[in-house]
Structure 1
Amino acid sequence: MDDLGYTPTTLGVEDARKKTVVVSSQIFDMIGIKEAETTKPGAGVSPCEEDPEHLFSSRHPWSLYGVSDERLTEGFARLKENLPKYGWKIVEYGPNNSPAKTLELTADSEKEHYSVNAELRVATDPAQNHPSATRKSSIQVRVVSGCFRAPEGTDLNGIY
């Protein structure tokens, strides 16, 4: 597929979900805060706009919370340090454009077609030097795959 810049791997929808969860688990391990709580939604899939009848991608958004801001900050730094060691290239790092200037990183896997975006959201924002009462401290993570080719005969209408 010239539009994508690569040839998509043929993979069943459920196998793609499982693979994306495995990548998410690797990200969790890189953060290294085993005692933190995590949200439980599973991986979802959606058609790729380049060829919605045959191609789809998988995504797994989740967050890590329930530990101190210091632990979250340490975990976020560990993620930034560990990603390149596991074949990820950090393509963006720094405060984002939100009013809170949340620290954010985006990295692409150099081995597989996956991207991860993570945001460090702490209740006390050091940039503004005051607590954000509306925010629970967390690391927000979104893992997104490139496009997979659905096996012959797979109906991608209504997938989620």
Structure 2
Amino acid sequence: MKTRPSALALAAAVALTTLTGCSMTDSKTDSVPFSGTSTSLDAADATEKVSSGIYDLIGVRGKASESYSTVMDCSGRDAGEYFRILHPWSFYPASEGDLDVAMERLKSKLPKHGWRIVEYGPDTSKNKNVRMTADNDRKKVSVRIIRMAKNDPPKLSLNVVSGCYKIPAGQEIERF
């Protein structure tokens, strides 16, 4: 399934609201960490590679949605020089019972692969979706995973977001 631009914009807004307050920070400030210098296309490829690694950790049969990365601004930094990458996607397990298995596998496997879980538990919605936020300080990336058991069909909703990149000198940020 392809993601519609309006859905992508909504996902970006949700990610900005939910992920910019994560504890993934550099040692000097409370801001989003610096991920290095890169073009937006290369940064998107790197972020999608992180998503693929998370998919591999799920370890149950199912299907991932087809989605595309998008470029976001870095709050408090020059929008012409700095950017972040958001890669929103969903995982639909082959059987409803595998949804909890997938979430538990991620909770146990992410820390073994360099991730630090900074939030875990039910949200305040009437569905009491379980949310998990994990940061990978080495890769300068964060993921917010929401177990949506009452969705039809049940799914894990994932938003992988990078730290701030700086565009190389003489180049422009490609917005997509």
Matching residue of 1:159: 175
Pairing 1:17-96 to 2, within 5 Å after superposition: 17-33=44-60, 35-49=61-75, 50-96=77-123
**Structure with larger Rg:** 1
TM-score of the superposition, structure 1-length normalised? 0.84
TM-score of the superposition, structure 2-length normalised? 0.77
Q: Which runs of 5+ in 2 are unaligned?
A: 1-27
Q: For residues 51 and 139 of structure 1, what CA distance do their matches in structure 2 show?
A: 33
Give aligned pairs, total: 148
Pairing 1:93-108 to 2, within 5 Å after superposition: 93-108=120-135
Matching residue of 2:4: none
SS in 2 for 1:60: strand
Deviation of 1:6 after TM superposition, in Å, equals 4.6
SS in 1 for 2:66: coil
Identity across matched positions, percent? 34
Q: Output the aligned Cα RMSD.
A: 1.9
Contact 2:35 2:162 in 1 (8 A): no
Deviation of 1:70 after TM superposition, in Å, equals 1.3
Deviation of 1:41 after TM superposition, in Å, equals 1.0
Deviations 1:19-57 (A, max 9, x none): 001000011011112x31111012111221322111000
Deviations 1:48-74 (A, max 9, x none): 132211100001100011522211110
Q: Which runs of 5+ in 1 are unaligned?
A: 124-133
Q: For residues 2 and 54 of structure 1, what CA distance do their matches in structure 2 show?
A: 19
Q: For residues 87 and 97 of structure 1, what CA distance do their matches in structure 2 show?
A: 29
Q: For residues 82 and 66 of structure 1, what CA distance do their matches in structure 2 show?
A: 17
Give structure 1 regions of 4+ aligned residues with deviation exceeding 6 angstroms. Answer: none
SS in 1 for 2:157: strand
Q: For residues 66 and 112 of structure 1, what CA distance do their matches in structure 2 show?
A: 27
Matching residue of 1:130: none
Q: For residues 32 and 110 of structure 1, what CA distance do their matches in structure 2 show?
A: 23
Deviation of 1:101 after TM superposition, in Å, equals 1.1
Q: Return 142-151 or 38-47, whichever deviates more.
A: 38-47
Matching residue of 2:146: 119
Counterparts in 2 of 1:75 and 1:46: CA distance versus 1, 3 Å? same
